A and B are shown apart, each in its own frame.
Chain A
Amino acid sequence: MSAAARRAWVAAGRAGVVMLVLLTWAAASRLTDLVPGLGPTLDTLVDGFRDGWLEAGLAATTKAVAVGFGWAVLLGFPLGYLLGRSRVFGELFDPLVAGLFAVPRIIFYPILLSWFGVGMLAESTMAALSALFPIAVMTTAAVREVARGPLPKLAASLNLNEAQQLLKIYLPAIAPTLMVALRIGFSVALIAAIIAEFFAARAGLGLLAARAYALLDLPRMFAVVLLIVTIGFAGNLALWMAERRLSPDGG
């Protein structure tokens, strides 16, 4: 099979998977009242944007994820870089970071609620806390990988200072891993924000889904779920494609 034919088959297969999911949904909606059809769900989605309730929820969730993800990158990258470059920091805080990485961070949400009260601050902090550790851990691993290679010797022979080493040596070398870290971080921030909104929030898509569920308003619930899934899928796919372009074998 030629490379072009193979690519065509893969593309067709990927489209086929989407079709299969939609067909399964359609079949399920015929079989049970618990699953509304594709049509009513899309109608509710459109209505939601026209009436504004969906837009308000979308805006709240987007803000919580964006703020949380932003803080996670701003804090997670330097933390990971420091742990990777400095032996003292690494020795001292490696177990702490690895341990917190393994803990399901959502469990800190009640604590954040009792600190900040229900609202945007608690949600965005939750998203930041969730995304920070994957970003830090992957950055540390990538920096250590580079430090084992020949590049630090090059940096030493060129007498590069700390800032130059970061910008000219480490950042380009770890860029592919950093993209993976950003993608995972985004995903984790989104999931954390949605779970947080499910539990307690003033606005957001998670809250809308939880409310629709409590009222057994199934088309509304499916419309919100569809929107959440689309956001997660689209954001992740875009970052994944950027990541493959950056990876050394060209994807």
Chain B
Amino acid sequence: MRMARPGEPRPVHARLVRWLLFAATLAVLEVCARAGMFDPLALPAPAQILSALLRLARGEEFYTDLGRTMVTVVAAFGIGVVGGLPVGVVFWKLPLLGDVFEPYLVTMYALPTLVFYPILLAVMGLGPAPIITIASVMALIPIALNTMVALRSIPPMLPKLGRSVGCSTAQLYRKVLVPAATPLAVPGLRLGFAYAVIGTVAMEFILAVSGLGFRAGYHYRYFDVPEMYAEVLVIGVLAVLFNALFGVLERRIRRDML
């Protein structure tokens, strides 16, 4: 095993090897599935999954599900940001309040918020509202927590310096506090987005009537195994794409700040 050492040249072919490994895995799966080594109801051949995906992409239902899931995720994330940032700022401004609520915010991660879904369903009906509510709460928590931590970790010298050069309060926020807090607050946004996706898909999965998460479970119940794999694949690819997008954004913002 080679150990990481600073100054050692990066392996140039990592990307190539990665794709080769990926292709080899697919090929092995395809051959084994065709040879009848797997139960087709458990693991269909990759080619079958691909043709199921193409079949789905020709239908209208797929785009309804996709749209519903995307709208829910974006709405939940939006509410999480609009609610979470001010909560983080308030908990930073009033440290006593922040200390009171911190253990609850931290443990909210562990509360399966989704157990409240049946109750929300009874109150709000079988629309997107209960899912958006739960997913936005899940997105809000990491955003609020990270914002609080980010603001608390600003060295007190910076705002003092700002005041000493005569910053107004608005200028202090815009020119000093926001840039100083951003490197720690942006990972909170990224986490919040991941939680919005998880909340949405999980809710759709257990008790919804449309959306990609629902459709994966639906195909399972009707033994459409290749279709089920295709939906899982779509959700996976979407999640990875959005995560990569946030990664690029994060690096860009950090480069601007530091």
| Chain A residues within CB distance 8 Å of chain B | 6, 9-10, 13-14, 16-17, 32, 34-35, 82, 84-92, 95-96, 98-99, 101-104, 106-111, 113-115, 144, 147-148, 183-184, 186-187, 190-191, 194-195, 198-199, 209-210, 213, 221, 224-225, 228-229, 232-233, 235-237, 240
Contacts and interface: CB of A to CB of B under 8 A. Distances in A.
Nearest to B207: A198
19 contacts: A34-B122, A35-B119, A84-B4, A86-B1, A88-B2, A89-B1, A92-B14, A92-B17, A92-B21, A102-B242, A102-B243, A107-B235, A113-B220, A114-B225, A148-B6, A190-B110, A225-B116, A228-B115, A240-B106
Interface in B167-201: 194, 197-198, 201
B228 interface: yes
Contacts of B201: 104, 106-107
Contacts of A34: 119, 122-123
A209 B118 contact: yes
Contacts of B56: none
Interface of B: 1-6, 8, 10-11, 14, 17-18, 21, 41-43, 96-97, 99-101, 103-104, 106-107, 109-112, 114-116, 118-119, 122-123, 194, 197-198, 201-202, 205-207, 213, 216-217, 219-220, 225, 228-229, 231-232, 235-236, 239-240, 242-243
Contact of A14 (B43, B100, B225): B100
Contact of A111 (B107, B202, B213, B229): B229
Contacts of A147: 4
Given A6-B96, A17-B100, A213-B118, A194 B232 contact: no
B2 A86 contact: yes
A195 B112 contact: yes
B240 to A, nearest CB: 4
Given A10-B100, A91-B10, A107-B201, A236 B239 contact: no
Contact of A184 (B109, B116, B228): B109
A107 B14 CA distance: 29
B205 A99 contact: no
A92 B14 CA distance: 6
Given A110-B219, A233-B110, A221 B205 contact: no
Nearest to A230: B111
Contact of B110 (A82, A144, A187, A213): A187
Contacts, number: 164
A206 to B, nearest CB: 8
Main secondary structure of the interface of A (DSSP, over half): helix
B18 A109 contact: no
A147 B8 CA distance: 14
A191 B106 contact: no
Contacts of A210: 206
Contact of A86 (B4, B18, B41, B228): B4
List of 8 A-B pairs having minimum Cβ-Cβ separation, nearest first: A13-B100, A187-B110, A102-B243, A110-B220, A236-B110, A91-B14, A232-B110, A213-B118
A9 B96 contact: yes
Contacts of B122: 34
A235 B96 contact: no
B107 A99 contact: no
Contacts of B235: 103-104, 107
Contacts of A199: 205-206, 217
A13 B110 contact: no
B112 A194 contact: yes
A210 B206 CA distance: 9
B100 A198 contact: no
B4 A85 contact: yes
B239 A103 contact: yes
Contacts of B197: 102, 104
Contacts of A96: 18
Contacts of B8: 87
